[in-house]
Structure 1
């Protein structure tokens, strides 16, 4: 069930909100209702595969209960018995093993066949269907179990609360990756204020418009570009396709994250931001502090730091960086294109750490050009079906032949407009906006500008919602990129 589908917008969501508000004001009842509603949401799209998720939830909750009994001091995993360490290892093995089976088994077979060149190649396993959101909910439950194991978090004794946390429908399918340590107390005490409810609606509407009006509009053109053989594309086509996808994936995923954050606010939960204008970054490292923040911080806290982080020799640190970005690429998909995409960022971050970042700090122009070019090129790897196509596509981008600078695929006016708006909205205008509001307050010596700004924000969100719904109803093309992961 997509957030942009009519059945969600006009049936599921209104019913859930109304029932949630009229239920008795007891936190246990509210949490149980959200658990049931979220189970229905997931069952609608996955049917019996919900049992896999329930098994992973029960496994991690039960093992965390067992592990917690051996914690001596908060903030440490010292004092665990051998059986508790084995239990933690078993939990990791089973949870990641299920993810590997559904997502990476056939890819692993392809890799083995390529490496060993068997006379009789291993056969791929047919009939494996990737459960929706398995990459996300696996990271959700493991962050909880690892936090309990390391003593950073007290165990959650209520299975219903923990199950509600994992199954919470706003972030269940495509994130953000919300850690239980960040929202645990919201399952015991939360309130929904009128301002918070309105802010939730506004955030959801903004996210919906980013997804529908920008990402969806651009996606038709981008899909047309990448469906063509590279020989049929000009250099201009390749660059416009790459730039279009750079904008599409940002507004697709950040739009979904905004919708998830807004929906959570409607039920009194507060999630951290998942995007912070990544394309204004001046380095690859800064880009990953701004892009998919919940994933990058997860990999940093649970993988990079546990491998030694910055506390080891330089060569080990660089190896750790490359491994983390290899994991990031694999997390996104079982394909060599994703592996190379992740490693590309890892290599550039290593180069920056070796001294290139000093040059970027000295030259503002170089810094502003470097990251957009790197990101746009890297997204070709992410979008292409295979490395052969990606390498030829990227090669054509950088073969500056004057004869080849024509557009063989026409750019419609709505696509041009969506791309220009997308480029403008990729910049952080909040500082200038706040300065304008503050200057108006000082001039008129009244708080009315702030009130007007809030009212205009609500009015704009409603208008964007109406336009987005009209666009949804008039088009059947409505994909979510990150649903693949």
Structure 2
């Protein structure tokens, strides 16, 4: 089940909200837990047992670590076994096939790996349970002794499938006590509708252009077609993922939770370092707190800092998928972040802002080619076409047709990738007094109506981050 589906919007969500709010407050965590398990089991019921095991296992580990806190060897053993088990489950489902394939190629073997589908959301909830165990072990958070509350934290359906990655410390207090006012619920509903519109009206529509270009044989691509296609994907993945994150945050507010913002207009960045402070913020924050800083961060000299950066970016690539293109994609960005730390960022800061902006967009767009093509040969060929090496000319009829029919959409998407629309809505609400209080809800009603109309009439409704 996905948020941008009619069964979620017209059945699951209304029923869950109704039951949640007519129930006593002491039962609301249990209701969210049950609803979340139903949500997760809807598409792949067998994998719900993995989630339940991870939840119960790390709940017990947290209690045991707290119990033996003053007997360090025992607490350390429990801690290590917990982390090893979580990583073991994740690696088995996500990376076992990749490892076996590479062993087969390297040693000319024919080992068969189990062809298991990846459990949806496993990367997200595994990181959440691990962060809880780490924080309990380091005595950063009190141990959670209520398994219903802990289960609610791990399985919470608003952010279960695609984040943002929620650390236990961020919502520990909210699991115990939270209040939802009408204004807060309305704020959450607006955020959900905005995310739904980004996903359904923007990401899905521009995704059709990328699907068409990607299906074109490489030798038939022109320079213009290649650039139009990858720009379309650049916009699709942003509005797809940020839209889903907005929906998650909106749902969280509707149930009384505050989740961190996961995207902050990353395509307005003027450096790769800034881009990664704005893109998938919760993932970057997780790696910084649980990998980069424990390794020493930037405290132990330049060489160790570069080692730590290399580890973080290697893991960032691997987190996204078990394929060499993701590893190279992660190291590709790690190279530019490292170069900026050494000298490039200082050079960019002395140049006009547009120079940094163009540089960042160019690096990011080329990076999305590496991200999207699992076959590295196909990725390198596509990049060559972008820069005219072997391309079928600069433009042809198909490229010009794609440009003309998608030009308005591309302009709308470019504007919506900046803070301008949000600022415009805020200005109307704050400055136009009574008119603003009427106009803004009408705008959101139109967004909702158009999104519903699209979902009723279209079958193209992918979600790119489900595969991670």
Same fold (TM over 0.5): yes
CA pair 58-81 structure 1, distance change in 2 beyond 3 A? same
Do 2:206 and 2:236's aligned partners in 1 also have CA atoms closer than 8 Å?
A: yes
Q: What is the distance in 1 between the residues matched to 2:211 and 2:425?
A: 38
Do 2:317 and 2:329's aligned partners in 1 also have CA atoms closer than 8 Å?
A: yes
The corresponding residue for 1:398 is 387
CA pair 31-403 structure 1, distance change in 2 beyond 3 A? closer
Runs of 4+ in 1 over 4 A off after TM superposition: 400-403, 430-438
Q: For 1:305-334, what per-residue CA distance to the aligned partner results, in whole angstroms no more than 9, with x for missing partners?
A: 011001011111112112101101110111
Superposition RMSD on alpha carbons, in Å?
1.9
Instruction: Quote how far apart the aligned CAs of 1:376 are.
Output: 0.6
Do 1:202 and 1:457's aligned partners in 2 also have CA atoms closer than 8 Å?
A: no
Q: What pairs with 1:67-466 in structure 2 (closer than 5 Å)?
A: 67-71=65-69, 81-114=72-105, 117-119=106-108, 121-363=109-351, 364-399=353-388, 404-407=393-396, 408-409=398-399, 410-411=401-402, 415-429=406-420, 433=424, 449-450=432-433, 452-466=435-449
Q: What is the distance in 1 between the residues matched to 2:300 and 2:129?
A: 29
Do 1:252 and 1:481's aligned partners in 2 also have CA atoms closer than 8 Å?
A: yes
Q: What is the distance in 2 between the residues matched to 1:430 and 1:466?
A: 19
Do 1:214 and 1:419's aligned partners in 2 also have CA atoms closer than 8 Å?
A: no
CA pair 180-455 structure 1, distance change in 2 beyond 3 A? farther
Q: What is the distance in 2 between the residues matched to 1:365 and 1:217?
A: 28
Q: What is the distance in 1 between the residues matched to 2:444 and 2:43?
A: 28
The 3-state SS of whatever aligns with 1:411 is helix
Q: What is the distance in 2 between the residues matched to 1:230 and 1:450?
A: 55
Q: What is the distance in 2 between the residues matched to 1:5 and 1:389?
A: 33
Matched, 1:30 2:28: yes
Do 1:67 and 1:80's aligned partners in 2 also have CA atoms closer than 8 Å?
A: no
TM-score, scaled to structure 1: 0.92
CA pair 93-463 structure 1, distance change in 2 beyond 3 A? same
Q: What is the distance in 1 between the residues matched to 2:405 and 2:87?
A: 43
Q: What is the distance in 1 between the residues matched to 2:239 and 2:183?
A: 26
The corresponding residue for 2:2 is 2
Q: How many residues align?
A: 465
Instruction: Quote how far apart the aligned CAs of 1:240 are.
Output: 0.8
The corresponding residue for 2:464 is 481
Q: What is the distance in 2 between the residues matched to 1:435 and 1:167?
A: 33
Q: For 1:217-262, what per-residue CA distance to the aligned partner results, in whole angstroms no more than 9, with x for missing partners?
A: 0111101211232112111111111111000000000000000111
Unaligned runs of 5+ in 1: 72-78, 439-446
Do 2:314 and 2:327's aligned partners in 1 also have CA atoms closer than 8 Å?
A: yes
Unaligned runs of 5+ in 2: none
Larger mean Cα displacement after TM superposition, 386-395 or 125-134: 125-134
Instruction: Quote how far apart the aligned CAs of 1:388 are.
Output: 0.6
Q: What is the distance in 1 between the residues matched to 2:316 and 2:92?
A: 18
The 3-state SS of whatever aligns with 1:385 is coil
CA pair 435-415 structure 1, distance change in 2 beyond 3 A? closer
CA pair 52-414 structure 1, distance change in 2 beyond 3 A? farther
